[in-house]
Amino acid sequence: MTRIYGHFIHNASPQPSSWIERISPAHGTVVAKFAEGQDSDVDAAVRAARAAFDTGPWPHMDAERRASVLERVAALVADNLERLARIEVEEVGKPIRFARHDMQTVVALFKYAAGLAMQLHGLAYSTIGAKRTGIVLREPVGVVGLIIPWNFPAETLAKKLPFALAAGCTCVVKPSELTSGTALELASLAAQADMPPGVINVVTGYGDVVGSALSGHPGVDMLSFTGSTRVGRHVIARAGEHIARSAVELGGKGATIVFRDADVEAAVDGALASVFFNQGECCVAGSRLLVQRDIADRFVEKLVGKANALRVGDPFAETTDLGAMIHRQQLDRVLGHVDAARREGAKQLCGEVMLSCESLFMKPVIFDHVQPSMGIFSEEIFGPVLSVTRFDSPQEALALANQTDYALANSVWTSDLDTALEFTKRLRSGIVWINTALDGALQLPFGGNRSSGFGRELGEAGIEEFTTLKSVLIHTGKRQPLFAP
């Protein structure tokens, strides 16, 4: 059955004049219809969020009450976990077992943000003079626009939305036109959890219309965007037109660095997961494997064997490892990178396309003997494609890893503590994993530098991102005149 959604504005769903059909990338059938938003829809949503922030109860509600609403949302997501996971499978094409994990993460994020709401505080300074007391207030930044990508729609939204809400902000969400289902479902569940009207609004539609209108709307105080570096530049520029703050999590070209003293089996499994998880459609993917030369042949042989054993197919099958690519244009883009790598002389060890008229599947691709001059080494591919480059010394490995405009996530595999610590300090990325990959904790800030963006999600930084500081100075007694007679 096709799911049909209008926008979600002020806890209502106004019906649009036109619709966007979402065709399942795995099965070729229409699974959802989303409202095709226009500038006027964005304006209505921002006005609703503005009214909820300026005159509504949410920003002024005590933290305990805000936390209780977020806890109720978490409980409702848990109650609807299987249904929400299946929506993600239909729209994204990812395997069902990973979609369930995404939803479990959404539950955890709402609970964690609820706890942070109770801990948010300012500062007091009593040492600035006998008759002076300084207070630093941490207040919600205001109306926040949240622009969400298609690869992890629910999880990415949950890295932003509950933290903004915990801080006391009101929000307008623009999900991808391909994967809007779970954003709309979460907004509906929040309403059931007694979220006041106007606090969460969702406008669906295309980025060049809805995303651009939201980024440039003067009623928005802050933009939080996750997506490509190319679109991120546009969002930053549009937000800057009206001096709105922005936080952007953009592309990546992560390196998996394997030294000769690493646990080879663990490193092979880590490298495999790092690049082929979620069909490689992952900003923190370790799409560059840098392996020390004297173990490279043995390492690559094991890697190719395990890559060939990965199960690609129906994402609703419990044993599937890789599902469908998000759409035909993305598959064609990835195949373009594969063709270019072949032309440039990289050696393809495995991988092929599994196309039918209904589905978009691609087996894992591994290229060996990739040189830094090749496009596959430096360009974000966003698909199940791994490049292998050999190195001799730690200095060479570090130079290769940092030879990119991106700076999001890298992983290092070694049993030598000195090497691990040195690389932790010298790798230019917001995240460094040691003997693990695609790992994390709710308490650890997530984000990158350089062309991978700025701003942080998760941890205490995740809620502080949506706040602004106000300094207050209180003078007691009579103040000495500045211009004495």
Q: Does a structural domain hold residue 354?
A: yes
Let me know whether 314 and 207 are in one domain. no
**CA-based end-to-end distance of the chain:** 83
Let me know whether 167 and 181 are in one domain. yes
**Local structure of 31: helix, strand or coil:** strand
Residue stretches of the chain with pLDDT short of 50: 357
Q: Does a structural domain hold residue 296?
A: yes
Q: What is the pLDDT of residue 482?
A: 86
Let me know whether 246 and 268 are in one domain. no
Let me know whether 158 and 228 are in one domain. yes
Let me know whether 135 and 231 are in one domain. yes
- Please state, in angstroms and as integers, the Cα–Cα distance from residue 91 to each residue in 47, 95, 164, 169, 325, following that order: 30, 11, 26, 29, 11
Q: Does a structural domain hold residue 439?
A: no
Q: What is the pLDDT of residue 478?
A: 87
Give the burial string for 172-211 (b: 16+ CB within 10 Å, else e): bbbbbbbbbbbbbbbbbbbbebebbbbbbbbbbbebebbb
Let me know whether 166 and 269 are in one domain. no
- Among 194, 237, 239, smallest CA distance to 214 is for 239
- Read off the CATH number of the domain in which 300 is found: 3.40.309.10
pTM, two decimals, is: 0.96
Let me know whether 107 and 68 are in one domain. yes
Let me know whether 246 and 107 are in one domain. yes
Q: What is the pLDDT of residue 352?
A: 74
Let me know whether 401 and 363 are in one domain. yes
- Read off the CATH number of the domain in which 142 is found: 3.40.605.10
Q: What is the pLDDT of residue 479?
A: 85
Given the residues 169, 171, 282, 283, select the one marked as catalytic.
283
Given the structure tokens 């190719």, which residue do they identify? Answer: 304
Q: Does a structural domain hold residue 226?
A: yes
Given the residues 88, 177, 249, 380, select the one marked as catalytic.
249
Instruction: Locate 238 and state its tokens.
Output: 């549009």
Let me know whether 429 and 458 are in one domain. no
Q: Does a structural domain hold residue 478?
A: no
Q: Does a structural domain hold residue 40?
A: yes
What's the domain range around 318? 255-434
Number of domains in the chain: 2
Q: What is the pLDDT of residue 351?
A: 81
- C-alpha–C-alpha distance, residues 312 and 310, integer Å: 6
Q: Does a structural domain hold residue 446?
A: no
283 is catalytic: yes
Let me know whether 352 and 397 are in one domain. yes
Q: Does a structural domain hold residue 427?
A: yes
Let me know whether 394 and 342 are in one domain. yes
